[in-house]
Structure 1
Amino acid sequence: MTIIYTTFPNREKALEICKNLLSEKLIACFNIFQVDSGYWWDGKISQDIEFAAILKTSKLKEQGVFKRLKELHPYSVPAIFSVETENVDMDYKQWLEKSVNNTNS
């Protein structure tokens, strides 16, 4: 199982893209939440409210998620990174694998 993290400028765009990834069976599920973000941009410190997304998928689908996020993302340089999980409940892992494969979920 792999966790992919990214941020969006607003809730609507986050939901739109995450639902798209879900319908394409690239991810099994997502969580979206509001975050206060601070970062360097154009040589100065910026601060915004963004919407972060945690995307849960299989290791086999990880690169496909990255590719689609880059295609769909509104930011010119989106934060997209993954974290491989060490321990996952076996029932949850089986559900996740079934969800991202073309079997009935």
Structure 2
Amino acid sequence: MEAIIVYTTFPDWESAREVVRELLKRKLIVCANLREHEALYWWEDRIEEEKEVGAILKTEVSKWKELRDVLLELHPYDVPIISRIDLDKLNREYSEWMARVLFG
């Protein structure tokens, strides 16, 4: 099992939950952690400051391309961040649980 974390952000709780539920239904992820935070960023030549919901999505590397494509399709942002973080180490128990959920 090659576990990865995928990070993205959403404009609000409703869109984050909606997209995450769809990813779970399609078995593209095993879990998501959502957290509200402040975001400061450049957009159309000015600095914006908004609340966003960050999503840490846990999955397996073989799901990466489909997950990325589905996120691009469903995401409410014009230019979402969809970043992949490869995990070097993961405890066996969690890895086994991920395999059962994703490939069961």
Does the pair score TM above 0.5? Answer: yes
Q: Distance in 1 between matches of 2:78 and 2:93?
A: 38
> Per-residue deviation at 1:97?
1.6
Identity %: 37
Describe the SS at the equivalent of 1:47.
Answer: strand
Aligned with 2:50 (options 16, 34, 48): 48
Describe the SS at the equivalent of 1:99.
Answer: helix
Partner residue in 2 for 1:69: 71
Kindly indicate whether residue 81 of structure 2 is the aligned counterpart of residue 79 of structure 1. Answer: yes
Partner residue in 2 for 1:21: 23
Describe the SS at the equivalent of 2:15.
Answer: helix
User: Structure 1, residues 36-58: CA drift from partner, whole Å, max 9, x if none?
Assistant: 00111001111100000000000
Describe the SS at the equivalent of 2:21.
Answer: helix
Aligned with 2:9 (options 7, 10, 17): 7
In the comparison of the two structures, how many residue pairs are matched? 102
Root-mean-square deviation (CA), in Å?
A: 0.6
Aligned with 2:34 (options 29, 32, 35): 32
> Per-residue deviation at 1:94?
1.0
Q: Structure 2 unaligned segments of length 5 or more: list them.
A: none
User: TM-score under structure 1 normalisation?
Assistant: 0.95
Describe the SS at the equivalent of 1:52.
Answer: strand
Q: Distance in 2 between matches of 1:41 and 1:64?
A: 28
User: TM-score under structure 2 normalisation?
Assistant: 0.96
Q: Distance in 2 between matches of 1:45 and 1:17?
A: 27
